[in-house]
């Protein structure tokens, strides 16, 4: 009503084309706002768990039906690694000297085909476990970079990706003793890596997705852009990307063709700053991010609805529990279990 009164006041001074454009924009904005209110979803049960840390949690993953690991920390002062052995209900902090002696955050996490779990962070620090996180070993990649993701897709070759203020990245390959095999540097930032097979994998970051088909020896750009890509989910050749501006992208053929499902810059849609994404199947998925935003799709990502707010903290990681619940975690150690 207020917009209509303002337009009515100045309408005589406007050209017909300009007036029509303003009216169309206002209609789109009204529809977008109404849609946001209409799509608010109610949660059945949200339980805040004791994560055993007050540090930022960057990753949570299930290793098997009972065991899960969460990791994060304070970038220059504390390492946080916690473990659950009851399906993600209760957690125990790792207080071993190997973990607490680092004093730096872990940013990347991956479970390799061998079953080993890898954590990586600043100054080239890598923690790895061969017993589902019961004990950890430490190695340092001696270029001392800020690693945001990495794994050993092959037992004798690890691939780790670093970033510098979203302006530069390095892809580092190491041997089984964490000695550097080679490095490749590009003038954009990276946020993660996902290896689908020992040879095929993807890295994603600031306006960029790249693919390797030879175990990281070379990388080629994919035809997708428009956001700072923060997370990737994959079910075989079907994959989804989310970005820090709220964009969501989808491919059915391993990245040969990408489709924009959600334009994060569309002013008729609610703005989200997304950090993580997961899908249960080809239709059902969730994404989360800043200010506690948690959104849901049941049509493969073409339409998203937001859940009612249960926190204002940034949610940085999301995982599906063995029983179908969700675990979401993020800043200041917040960890929530959501029954769906």
Q: Is the pLDDT of residue 84 over 70?
A: yes
Whole-number pLDDT of residue 28: 47
- Specify whether the CB–CB gap between 40 and 306 falls below 8 A: yes
For 286-296, the pLDDT digits (tens) are: 999 999 999 99
- Please say whether the dihedral angle defined by the alpha carbons of residues 18, 22, 27 and 28, taken in this order, is positive or negative: positive
Convert the pLDDT of each residue in 22-66 to its tens digit.
Answer: 545 544 444 444 444 456 899 989 999 999 999 999 999 999 999
What 3-state class would DSSP assign to 178? Answer: coil
pLDDT at 260: 97
CA 283 to chain centroid, in Å, comes to: 19
**For residues 168 and 188, is the Cβ–Cβ distance under 8 A?**
yes
pLDDT one-digit tens code per residue, 152-211? 999 999 999 999 988 999 999 999 999 999 999 999 999 999 999 999 999 999 999 999
DSSP code for 44:
S
Task: Write the DSSP assignment of 232-255 as a string of letters.
Answer: EEEETTEEEEEETTS-EEEESSTT
- The helix/strand/coil state of 179 is coil
Specify which residues 173 forms β-bridges with.
Answer: 159, 182
Query: How high is the pLDDT of residue 12?
Result: 55
What are the pLDDT digits (tens) for 6-16? 445 555 555 65
Q: What order of strands is seen across the sheet that includes strand 315-320?
A: 45-48, 335-339, 326-330, 315-320
Report how many helices (DSSP H) and strands (DSSP E) the chain contains, helices first: 3, 28
Which three-class secondary structure state does DSSP give residue 158? Answer: strand
The dihedral over CA atoms of 28, 30, 35, 38, expressed in degrees to the nearest 10, equals -170
Spatial separation of the C-alpha atoms in residues 319 and 325, rounded to whole Å? 9
Lowest mean pLDDT among 22-26, 111-115, 218-222: 22-26
Whether the CB-CB separation of 61 and 71 falls below 8 Å is answered with: no
Q: Report whether 336 contacts 327 (CB < 8 A).
A: yes
CB atoms within 10 A of CB 227: 24
């Amino acid at each position: 009503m207020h917009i209509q009164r303002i337009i009515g006041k100045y309408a005589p001074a406007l050209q017909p084309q300009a007036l029509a454009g303003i009216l169309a924009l206002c209609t789109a904005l009204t529809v977008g706002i109404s849609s946001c209110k209409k799509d608010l979803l109610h949660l059945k049960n949200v339980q805040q768990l004791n994560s055993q840390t007050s540090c930022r949690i960057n990753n949570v993953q299930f290793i098997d039906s009972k065991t899960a690991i969460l990791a994060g920390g304070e970038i220059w002062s504390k390492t946080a690694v916690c473990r659950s052995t009851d399906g993600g209900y209760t957690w125990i902090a790792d207080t071993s000297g190997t973990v607490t002696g680092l004093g730096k955050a872990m940013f990347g996490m991956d479970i390799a085909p061998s079953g080993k779990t890898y954590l990586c962070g600043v100054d080239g620090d890598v923690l790895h476990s061969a017993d589902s996180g019961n004990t950890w070993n430490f190695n340092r990649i001696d270029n001392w970079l800020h690693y945001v993701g990495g794994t050993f897709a092959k037992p004798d070759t690890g691939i780790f990706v670093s970033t510098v203020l979203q302006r530069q990245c390095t892809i580092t390959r190491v041997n089984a003793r964490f000695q550097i095999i080679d490095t490749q540097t590009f003038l954009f930032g990276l946020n993660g890596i996902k290896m689908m097979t020992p040879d095929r994998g993807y890295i994603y970051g600031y306006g960029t997705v790249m693919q390797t088909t030879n175990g990281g020896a070379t990388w080629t750009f994919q035809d997708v852009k428009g956001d700072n890509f923060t997370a990737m989910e994959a079910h075989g050749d079907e994959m989804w990307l989310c970005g820090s501006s709220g964009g969501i992208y989808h491919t059915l053929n391993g990245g040969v063709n990408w489709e924009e499902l959600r334009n994060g810059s569309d002013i008729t849609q609610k703005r989200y700053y997304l950090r993580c994404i997961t899908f249960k199947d080809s239709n059902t998925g969730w994404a989360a991010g800043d200010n506690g935003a948690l959104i849901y799709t049941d049509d493969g990502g073409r339409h998203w609805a937001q859940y009612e707010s249960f926190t204002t903290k940034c949610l940085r990681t999301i995982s599906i529990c063995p029983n179908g619940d969700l675990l979401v975690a993020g800043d200041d150690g917040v960890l929530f279990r959501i029954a769906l």
